Structure 1
Amino acid sequence: MAGPIARVDLSAARTAAAVARDRGGYGAALSLLASLFFMWGFITVINNTLLPHLRSVFDLDYTQTTLIESVWFIAYFVASIPAAKLIARVGYKRALVTGLGIMALGTLGMVLASHQVSYAITLTALFVIASGITLLQVAANPYVAVVGPSESAPARLNLVQAFNSLGTTLAPLFGGYLILGRSASGNAAAGTVLTPAERLADAQSVQLPYLIVAAILVMLAVVIARFPLPAMGGADSAAVPAAKAERAGLSLWRHRNLVLGVPAIFIYLIAEIGVSNLFINFVAQPEIGDLTHAQAARYLFLLWGGMMVGRFVGSYLMQRRTAEAVLAGAAIGACAVMLVAAFAAGPVAMWALISVGLFHAIMFPTIFTLGIRGLGPLTEAGSGLLIMAIAGGSLVVVQGWAADRFGLQHAFLITAACELYVLFYALWGCRPGVSGCRSEGA
């Protein structure tokens, strides 16, 4: 179905949007939320420079390395539903502050892990950080989607997500300089074996970056706590009984766009995280880029920079084309360049992998807004399911397993296959089911 996005008819959301307009618009709230998108993108992509670093410190194979990232995304599966319940209880604003506090606690855990040189503490700290990000995701994504006109929801979320991509673009430079650039493993040739003393020094190189991040998170939490963010959803206690009554008798499973959107998010995350996590090891190979890990991190900057550019471009295109059409074009382009990366060699393969960021850029925010359209009073619950589907990134361990057995380059065929499901969703799966859609003007 091509046409305007169905209006989200949450009474609390409408009230909040009206209040924001009465105050002169909701631009200030969106600007502040953009800083949250920036920070969780920044912290997530620090992992991409952290993984090759930890691979050397703990002497891990690809399967064990990608298992670290799997733990990160398992947190999305575990924490999403509790996050939605917490938002309903304390409101969006307090939930955002709580999420930032949890993230700060996890970053301090990474400092402890560096002192102890502990794989177990590292996994625990990353799980805590990801749980905090999950809470921010469950709160901020639907807020951005419903705080303005429903017809422009995909364009608006893509625009704010562009600031997420700004964070992911800058993170490789930050991590490459303060982690890889200051470590023996980051400046060594591929295949170099570190001495025990070098591993200990490398482990402690993460302390400064994570202390900086912790301080920024605390300051951001203080700013949001003091900011007059318009109340929405569970934050409006007077609206809760009415919202519960409106949800009675409705079922999420009658909405095809949501039911098929959950696996679309899940599968897309396998593709995105598989590319970013294995990128540095891939381009460092002699037959591809023949680079050190520190040098490869600079090219990772281009991958995430492409996602930032792609989201600004996607936001512009969606003002002139349907979100479904733009998503379908992106899926076709992503599949094509991943096949080149899987079978070509040298700079051609490297630049093909870099270019996939342009096509991946609009996938998550577009699938998300298409998935929640027409849900009405079920929007918050549907948002929780879609954010829970980010746990798909945990299956990057499958790509690590394939890289160990069939070669790192051929493992990217898994990514190409993931793009085909996104294409299916764009062409057919995102259409709201007739029996379950409560849309207006669609």
Structure 2
Amino acid sequence: MGTAQIVTDRHLMPAGEGEQASRPALILVTGLFFLWGVANNLNDILIAHFRHVFSLTDFQSGLVQSAFYLGYFCFAIPAALFMRRFGYKAAVIFGLLLFASGALLFWPASVELSYGFFLAALFVIASGLAFLETAANPMVPALGPADTADRRLNFAQAFNPLGSIAGISLGAVLILSNGAGAAADAASVRLPYMLIAAIVLVWALLLHHTPLPAAATRGERGDAGGIGGLAAYRALLGRPRYLAGVAAQFFYVGAQVGIWSYLIRYVGVALPWLSQRDAAWLLTGALILFMIGRFTGSALLARISGARLMLAFAAINAVLCIVAAAMGGAIGVTALLLTSFFMSVMYPTIFVLALRGLGPLTKPGASLIVMAIIGGAVLTAAMGLVSDRTGTIRAAMLVPALCFLVVGLFARLHLGDAGGHKGTA
């Protein structure tokens, strides 16, 4: 998952202008994609870890994602408004400071041994990431010539899944418990999060002292039909296809986050001879499959429309989730792992299809789709509730099965659109 942004030509530099000056900044901004990948997927480790440390139910442990994605939801539009007023650079630095502040809060939370304190820290981290994701995507094209903007952005986005894999690996090695007792296990989060805080603060300092082109630093005055116009949001409510796209993104993100959040828990039940660390390495494998799916999906989109490919992938994933719910064991684990491959094209494809034809409503439309990732909070908690009520984590996999059916219905809406719409992911 990543935040797509629409970048107009006025944010881009003419070919050759300032290319050398912006190269260090491009390296630093590219690193942001890696950093928020680490933070996002460490949550999957925390869910398994906190369930053990605080003796939580599945619903209670799922509140890790609820607190996290609530931060994204609350700060998506404020981040966009801040970016318009003060520029990309200021928004990124502010986001980094919030990110580091949330990571630093893990120390007192571990001292207090308070689950609520940890959730508050995650909310602060997510508020910072909302600023980073809102600003970093359009900032990358502003750091060099317009004719190479797409290449720079694709290169930067490639570091996000690498960060996700690094986050799972870091958590597996440094966080997952060895049965040393609740206080010692809670303290195991200190080292990785203090390390993250230190790196993020150094990153903010380096970015502050790095020269950037004017397109990446200037803000905008007034409301030039921008993201804050209430009339634009009222107009969007009269577009059923767009609203269907918002709903599809809500359910897709809920399915993705829910499956990854409970994969370690599912493996622990389905393959009880594996340790939590072994299960975490399986989650790393799922993320690798997701990355492979991105490249495979991009190749397939040269020949198949985005809507048709997403419909097929959504149907496959619905079946895989039903298999995971019904079978358990090695077959169920394999089915859940495979869903990551087929999820890979959904977020960007939904984003593009939902925004198609919005014209001047594109910017406010994009912000609402970003806010739709609150599905990660709502549906992960719903999966935990189903698991607790039924007494089995397998039953919870019916929730993402229904989510993929919603995604498939949205894709079907676009099958008859003219032009084929290839290359959407």
**TM-score over 0.5 (shorter chain):** yes
- Pairing 1:179–2:162 present: no
Range moving further from structure 2, 303-312 or 323-332 = 323-332
Range moving further from structure 2, 156-165 or 394-403 = 156-165
User: Once the two structures are superposed, what CA deviation does each residue of 1:92-111 show, in whole Å capped at 9, x if it has no partner?
Assistant: 22101111110000000012
Separation in 2, partners of 1:328, 1:74 = 28
Identity of matched residues, %? 36
Q: What secondary structure is seen at the aligned counterpart in 2 of 1:105? A: helix
- Pairing 1:94–2:79 present: no
C-alpha displacement of 1:387: 1.3
Q: Which residue of 258, 262, 265 maps to 2:242?
A: 258
Separation in 2, partners of 1:292, 1:355 = 21
Determine the structure 2 residue equivalent to 1:276: 260
Relative to structure 1, the CA distance from residue 146 to residue 334 in structure 2 (aligned partners, 3 Å threshold; closer, same or farther) is farther
Separation in 2, partners of 1:40, 1:282 = 25
Q: Which residue of 361, 366, 376 maps to 2:349?
A: 366
Relative to structure 1, the CA distance from residue 309 to residue 52 in structure 2 (aligned partners, 3 Å threshold; closer, same or farther) is same
- Pairing 1:52–2:37 present: no
C-alpha displacement of 1:323: 2.9
* Structure 2 runs not aligned, ≥5 long: 419-425
Separation in 2, partners of 1:43, 1:165 = 11
Range moving further from structure 2, 340-349 or 223-232 = 223-232
Separation in 2, partners of 1:146, 1:254 = 33
Relative to structure 1, the CA distance from residue 384 to residue 320 in structure 2 (aligned partners, 3 Å threshold; closer, same or farther) is same
Range moving further from structure 2, 335-344 or 346-355 = 335-344
Determine the structure 1 residue equivalent to 2:107: 111
Relative to structure 1, the CA distance from residue 143 to residue 371 in structure 2 (aligned partners, 3 Å threshold; closer, same or farther) is farther
Separation in 1, partners of 2:314, 2:152 = 20
User: Once the two structures are superposed, what CA deviation does each residue of 1:266-297 show, in whole Å capped at 9, x if it has no partner?
Assistant: 11111011111111111011x43531112111
Relative to structure 1, the CA distance from residue 249 to residue 349 in structure 2 (aligned partners, 3 Å threshold; closer, same or farther) is closer
Range moving further from structure 2, 27-36 or 263-272 = 27-36
Relative to structure 1, the CA distance from residue 44 to residue 212 in structure 2 (aligned partners, 3 Å threshold; closer, same or farther) is same
Runs of 4+ in structure 1 deviating by more than 6 angstroms, as ranges, are 25-30, 144-150, 155-159, 430-433
Q: Which residue of 415, 425, 435 maps to 2:410?
A: 425
Relative to structure 1, the CA distance from residue 158 to residue 23 in structure 2 (aligned partners, 3 Å threshold; closer, same or farther) is closer
Separation in 2, partners of 1:32, 1:142 = 14
- Pairing 1:318–2:314 present: no
Separation in 1, partners of 2:17, 2:230 = 31
Residues 88-167 of structure 1 mapped to structure 2, 5 A cutoff:
88-141=84-137, 160-167=156-163
Q: Which residue of 335, 339, 354 maps to 2:318?
A: 335
Amino acid at match of 2:11: A
Relative to structure 1, the CA distance from residue 156 to residue 318 in structure 2 (aligned partners, 3 Å threshold; closer, same or farther) is farther
Q: Is the 8 A contact 1:20 1:230 kept in 2?
A: no
Q: What secondary structure is seen at the aligned counterpart in 2 of 1:313? A: helix
Residues 38-77 of structure 1 mapped to structure 2, 5 A cutoff:
38-77=34-73
Q: Which residue of 395, 399, 421 maps to 1:414?
A: 399
C-alpha displacement of 1:259: 2.1
C-alpha displacement of 1:145: 8.7
Separation in 1, partners of 2:155, 2:309 = 14
Structural RMSD (CA):
3.4
C-alpha displacement of 1:425: 1.9
Relative to structure 1, the CA distance from residue 16 to residue 431 in structure 2 (aligned partners, 3 Å threshold; closer, same or farther) is farther
- How high is the TM-score relative to the length of structure 1? 0.82
Amino acid at match of 1:299: L
Q: Is the 8 A contact 2:293 2:341 kept in 1?
A: yes
Determine the structure 1 residue equivalent to 2:368: 385
Determine the structure 2 residue equivalent to 1:292: 275
User: Once the two structures are superposed, what CA deviation does each residue of 1:275-327 show, in whole Å capped at 9, x if it has no partner?
Assistant: 11111111011x43531112111111101111122222233333444333332
C-alpha displacement of 1:49: 0.9
Relative to structure 1, the CA distance from residue 206 to residue 236 in structure 2 (aligned partners, 3 Å threshold; closer, same or farther) is closer
C-alpha displacement of 1:391: 0.9
Determine the structure 1 residue equivalent to 2:9: 14
Separation in 2, partners of 1:424, 1:232 = 40
Determine the structure 2 residue equivalent to 1:80: 76
- How high is the TM-score relative to the length of structure 2? 0.85
* Structure 1 runs not aligned, ≥5 long: 1-6, 186-196, 434-442
Separation in 2, partners of 1:159, 1:430 = 30
Q: Is the 8 A contact 1:145 1:369 kept in 2?
A: no
Range moving further from structure 2, 387-396 or 341-350 = 341-350
Q: Is the 8 A contact 2:289 2:340 kept in 1?
A: yes
Q: Is the 8 A contact 1:158 1:314 kept in 2?
A: no
Separation in 2, partners of 1:42, 1:225 = 22
C-alpha displacement of 1:175: 0.3
Count of residues in correspondence between the two structures: 407
Determine the structure 2 residue equivalent to 1:170: 166
